[in-house]
Structure 1
Amino acid sequence: MPTALVIGASRGIGREFTRQLLQGGWSVWATARDDASLAQLQSDGAKTLKLDVTKTESIATLGWQLDGEQLDLALFVAGVYGPDQGADSAPTQAAFDQVMHANVLGAMQLIPTVVPMVKAGGKCVFLSSRMGSIDDASSSQGWVYRVSKAALNMAVKAASCQYRHATFAVLHPGWVQTDMGGPNALISPEKSVAGMLNVIAKLKPEESGSFRNFDGTPLPW
């Protein structure tokens, strides 16, 4: 039975990843910040870990909690959007720190702990956003979020050069009907996750470090 770790599984896309992986016969470790979410994930059939990616001390406990575990797939889903302002409004330090810490520093602190647990030939997948594409930028809306995802993309690309035993990928989930995406978003979590799992299943080692849409289309950096 293959084993996956879903970091940020309390709701939305992370919860749907957990559900579809369990349905597909995977053993799933799922993380969340609060006890209520952990209980829901346990009722779904996942093994759970309490984790807050914005707290270094919480990240530090993950290694010993998963000591000896061998992963086929590590999914980094946790993240926040932050203020929706554009370049005509300066972000506060608090807002900038919140978004960058959750979306970039958390992943960078988790990588050295989690990636060595991934088996040779396993996969490490990070949810980013098309909004982090520099080449594709056509608006400044949500510019703090855009900057954080561009930074995450670089962090993942750099890590793929360090850890050659696993295949890395950055995925854009589409505009999804979640708390972050809102009710007017174009696709359901079910469709987004099904598409991404299909992309993940087809990823080849020579494609490590690539940036793709949920339907597999390559995206520009």
Structure 2
Amino acid sequence: MSSTVLVIGASRGIGLEFVRQYRDAGWRVIATVRDEGARERVQALGAEVHLIDVAQPASVSGLGGRLDGERIDVALYVAGVIRRPGALVAPTQEDFDAVMHTNVLGAMQVLTQVAPMVEQAGGVFAFLSSSMSQIGSVQSSGSWIYRASKSALNMVVAAAQNDYPRATLVTIDPGWVQTDMGGASAPVKIEESVSGMRSVLASLTPGDKGQLLHYDGRRAAHW
């Protein structure tokens, strides 16, 4: 029986590349996307697709029911948004809510529904974070809200690990990747980032539980 991976946020970029690489490796892939156009792209790769908008709590609330009875070997929370102004500009409520709802609240709502399925399989639940979440190495206020959201996500996952001891919960930094968010000048190709993250997630140890990891295998020296 093939292993099962769930990709939350597979519409494009890193999420879509996770679908492609896991399918190429022979895995059964379940994915969530936000719209019909994305559904067609992901289905064309051979994945099972559900329409979910993680920024909308009512949309997320039905995910557990759709996945009822599944054993998830690897779950990935890839969904994320960014707003770029730094600390010279006060955030608007609209920008703050957009980032925090997707990057933090959505992750918390998905976690409580999916983590029991991951735990049943003794699997891995990884949430995409960022090196910009690390408080000990801040060199700029750029993307102020995004930084705060990813630091919060690190805490969400580290805390939740205590309630799901048979699963391995981690946050993982994909690097600065050539995506719509990262830009064309980013140094890491999307294929390299996803391949690296897959390798890291396949070689986790008990000591990695609740930790922030990097796509190239480094463990975060400080948060």
| Length-normalised TM-score, structure 1 | 0.98
- Offset, 1:35: 0.5
Single out whichever of 47-56 and 203-212 deviates more from structure 2.
203-212
Consecutive unaligned residues of structure 1, counting only runs of 5 or more, are: none
Equivalent residue number for residue 112 of structure 1? 112
Q: Would you say 1:145 and 2:184 are equivalent positions?
A: no
The letter of the residue matching 1:95 is D
| TM-aligned CA distance change 1:177 to 1:192, over 3 Å | same
Amino acid at match of 1:102: T
Letter aligned with residue 24 of structure 1? A
* Secondary structure at 2:136 match in 1: coil
- State how 1:201-212 maps to structure 2 within 5 Å: 201-212=202-213
State how far apart, in whole Å, the 2-side matches of 1:27 and 1:193 are.
17
| Structure 1 stretches of at least 4 aligned residues deviating more than 4 Å after TM superposition | none
Deviates more, 1:84-93 or 1:2-11: 84-93
Secondary structure of the corresponding residue to residue 127 of structure 2? strand
Describe how 1:4-19 pairs up with structure 2 within 5 A. Answer: 4-19=5-20
Matching residue's letter, 2:116: P
Aligned length: 220
Q: Give the AA of the match of 2:68.
A: D
Unaligned runs of 5+ in 2: none
CA distance, structure 2, for counterparts of residue 201 and residue 136 of structure 1: 27
After superposition, where does 1:175-194 map in structure 2 within 5 Å?
A: 175-194=176-195
Residue 26, structure 1, aligned to residue 27, structure 2: yes
SS in 2 for 1:67: coil
Shift, 1:206, TM fit: 3.1
Question: Residue 63 of structure 1 contacts residue 113 of structure 1 at CA under 8 Å; is this kept in 2?
Answer: yes
Q: What TM-score, normalized to structure 2?
A: 0.97
Contact 1:121/1:205, CA 8 A, preserved across alignment = no
Amino-acid identity (%): 51
Counterpart in the other structure of 2:129: 128
SS of 1:141's partner is: coil
Specify the code of the residue in structure 1 equivalent to 2:126.
Answer: V
Name 1:100's counterpart in structure 2.
100
2:219 paired residue number? 218
Instruction: Look up the SS of the partner of 1:107 in the other structure.
Output: helix
Give the superposed CA RMSD: 0.8
Paired letter, 2:103: N
Structure 1 SS opposite 2:70: coil
Question: CA deviation digits over 1:54-76, x for unaligned, max 9?
Answer: 11111111111111111001100
Q: Which moved more, 1:210-219 or 1:193-202?
A: 210-219
Deviation at residue 205 of structure 1 after TM alignment? 2.5
Q: Following superposition of structure 1 onto structure 2, how do residues 27-176 of structure 1 map, counting pairs within 5 Å?
A: 27-82=28-83, 84-118=84-118, 119-176=120-177
CA distance in 2, matches of 1:218, 1:70: 28
User: Which amino acid in the other structure matches residue 112 of structure 1?
Assistant: T
In 2, Cα distance between the equivalents of 1:42 and 1:35?
Answer: 10
Preserved CA contact (<8 Å) 2:10 2:78:
yes
3-state SS, counterpart of residue 38 of structure 1 = helix
**CA deviation string 1:122-172 (max 9, x = no partner):** 000000001011111111011110000000010011011111010111111
Give the CA deviation at 1:195. Answer: 0.3
What is the distance in 2 between the residues matched to 1:164 and 1:206?
12
